Chain A
Amino acid sequence: MRRLGAGIVSLAAFLVAWKLVTVIGGYPEYILPAPEVVAERALRAIGSGVLWEHTAVTLLEIILGFAVGAGAAILTGIALGKSVLIERVLSPYIVAAQAVPILALAPLLDIWFGGGLLARVVICALIVFFPIAIATMVGIRAADPLLAEMLRSLGADAAQRTRLLEVPSALPVIFGGLRVGVTLAVIGAVVAEWAGASSGLGVLINIANQGLFDTPLMFVALATLAIIGLAFYGLVVMVERRLVVQ
């Protein structure tokens, strides 16, 4: 209850500050609309079904992209953590792929993967991959060598040591990577949509901004993305609380 209260107070303060800036600055609506204008626009977008239509597309991209990216990243991270050879062979490519701006890569990936949902999931997964893979690798390596020796003395093979020791002990670090990754998944979905899509919140931002000059609608789309990011982040934290034994 206390946390909820603090959240409401902070949201109210944010809205008041926003309103004050618009009043004091006297900006026209197409530069900075007032909060009540955005709220009214949001109600209309919800009522007409436009907002949900685009949100559903983006949500699907985020969920699939995060699931694929995080799954691949955890498996790769385990392999990187367990084998120095694999790390030496793979890490230059992983780091190089991360260093190339995803914005530049996205249009190419869009062509390669057929421009549909698959392409957008791949782009989203790619941006999610790096922080989770690295966190997993670091976590796996930090497993207690004394516990590893204890397990060896009981006849545990490498796979059993991974399951019983390395992965559980790496979980707090892996969840650190997942927290970063899930927010990147939101960015990834929008970037993927900008590379070539006909619907989604990224598309809605473009339509509102460049097509309709409807800045309040753009703010509605941005606020929706922010809420999605917060919700998924909260979900990851909830799962973390259940899985990670303090």
Chain B
Amino acid sequence: MSSIPDNPGGLPVVVDAVGVRFGAPGDGVEALAECSLSVASGSFTVVIGPNGCGKSTLLRLVAGLLAPTRGSVTVGGEPPRPGDGRVGLAFQQPRLVPWRSTLANVALPLELAGVGPPERRERARLALERVGLAGAATLRPRELSGGMAQRAALARALIGNPPVLLLDEPFSALDALTRETFNAELQGLWLERRRTVILVTHSVPEAIGLADRVVVMTPRPGKVARIVEVGLPRPRPADLMGDPRAAELTAEVREALTDAHALELRPWAQVDGEGAA
């Protein structure tokens, strides 16, 4: 496999003038066009934008699940390849294998990498502990709550200790309170070990609460509309409502989103309001 040291920190991610087109030439859908983004090693980047702006496509490119039609994507200077151990990916849905125990689900990346059963069981146990699921090792996915299942999915993404962690709205199906807890824990995990994190979300407060940089995207074909630097000190509290600097940044991101696509803002602007309450 790859020669990743035990604690490599992160790796830089570079998306250079990428275009992605689905379907027949001339007749397909253009998901991304001239999309460029440079993510520094060990930074926390949040990508935000309306539905259909190609946020998930962008993550699939970085995970190596999708090859760009034009342009190039590199992780640590090389094009990503699934299973190379450089990228961990958590999806919007937990995507746990229903007939495997939680432990066996979390151990799956190690199993595919050829790690022997005793070692992968031990490491999966530690990974579950780290996300607060130590007691759920023998449970099946259907016995887990939505929040527990997402924790297990996060443990699975982290078990190979990847330098780059990609999160595709992993908490979007959870209730507001669980979501806040998760975001705090995610920040804690990242402060413990500075991997490169790219998180996709719809929520402006979530973006401000977590990001070093917020990348605002335009709708289809997606490209970067604006980058907002969030210079707030860490660790940040779950509730940034009272912070005047956070309020400014929130306004700035909202404005960028409105500029990017005014009509698309309204539905989730309301959802965000509830989430921050």
Report A's interface with B, CB cutoff 8 A. 146-147, 149-156, 160, 164-165, 168-169, 245
Known: A147-B95, A147-B97, A149-B65. A156 touches B140 (CB 8 A): no
Are B140 and A150 closer than 8 Å at their CB atoms? no
Known: A146-B91, A149-B65, A150-B91. A156 touches B83 (CB 8 A): yes
Instruction: List the B side residues contacting A245 at CB < 8 Å.
Output: 98-99, 140
Are B93 and A155 closer than 8 Å at their CB atoms? no
Give the distance to chain B from A166, nearest Cβ to Cβ, in Å. Answer: 12
Docked CA distance A160–B91 (Å): 20
Partner of B82, one of A146, A147, A154, A164: A154
Q: Say if the beta carbon of B84 comes within 8 Å of chain A.
A: yes
Q: Say if the beta carbon of B109 comes within 8 Å of chain A.
A: yes
Q: Say if the beta carbon of B112 comes within 8 Å of chain A.
A: yes
- Minimum-distance CB pairs A-B, first 10: A155-B83, A245-B99, A150-B95, A155-B82, A154-B109, A153-B89, A154-B112, A153-B82, A146-B95, A156-B112
Please list 9 pairs of residues, one from A and one from B, whose beta carbons are closer than 8 Å in the complex, sorted by A's number: A146-B93, A149-B95, A150-B95, A152-B82, A153-B65, A154-B83, A154-B108, A155-B81, A164-B97
Docked CA distance A164–B99 (Å): 10
Interface of A is mostly: helix
Instruction: List the B side residues contacting A154 at CB < 8 Å.
Output: 82-83, 108-109, 112
Instruction: List the A side residues contacting B84 at CB < 8 Å.
Output: 155
Docked CA distance A153–B97 (Å): 14
Q: What string of 1s and 0s marks CB contacts (under 8 Å) between B75-94 and chain A?
A: 00000011110000101010
Instruction: List the A side residues contacting B149 at CB < 8 Å.
Output: none
Docked CA distance A229–B109 (Å): 44
Known: A146-B91, A153-B63, A154-B112. A165 touches B97 (CB 8 A): yes
Docked CA distance A151–B63 (Å): 12
A151-B112, A155-B84 are known contacts; what are 11 more A-B pairs with Cβ within 8 Å? A146-B95, A147-B97, A150-B91, A150-B95, A152-B82, A154-B82, A154-B112, A155-B83, A155-B112, A164-B97, A168-B99
Interface centre among A149, A155, A164, A165 (most CB of B within 10 A): A155
In the complex, chain B residues 110-127 whose Cβ is within 8 Å of any chain A Cβ: 112-113
Instruction: List the A side residues contacting B95 at CB < 8 Å.
Output: 146-147, 149-150
Instruction: List the A side residues contacting B99 at CB < 8 Å.
Output: 168-169, 245
Instruction: List the B side residues contacting A168 at CB < 8 Å.
Output: 97, 99
Instruction: List the A side residues contacting B112 at CB < 8 Å.
Output: 151, 154-156, 160
Give the distance to chain A from B48, nearest Cβ to Cβ, in Å. Answer: 22
